[in-house]
Amino acid sequence: MKAFRAHGSYRAGKRDQPFSVDVVATDEEDAMERLLSTFGSRHRVTRRFILVDGIAEIDPAVSNAPVVQSHFGVSGNPSSIPKTEEE
């Protein structure tokens, strides 16, 4: 699993609401599916009204999203990432 950051906008009434969301997924396609599913359930926005400008893989340590911190076991600062044997 990897951490991804997606940004774009969705229709909220007559205006577009910008967003930037961090998700945990296996690849970009899975990240897109999780993003669309989350916005649909939380904001009742249909998929055609969600416009994603980009999805990029990020380092989990730079994310403040609780789901990312919980999954990777980080507390928001880069020094808290557990070291592997290779490093």
Q: Which CATH architecture has domain 2-74?
A: Roll (3.10)
pLDDT band at 74 (very low <50, low <70, confident <90, very high): confident
**CA dihedral in degrees (11, 17, 39, 60; nearest 10)?**
150
9-23: pLDDT as tens digits: 999 889 999 999 999
Q: What does each C-alpha distance from 72 to 42, 66, 75 come to in angstroms? A: 24, 10, 9
50-69: pLDDT as tens digits: 999 999 999 999 999 999 99
pLDDT higher than threshold 90 for residue 79: no
Domain boundaries along the sequence of the chain: 2-74
- d(C-alpha 31, C-alpha 72), whole Å: 16
What does the block give as tokens for 64? 């403040």
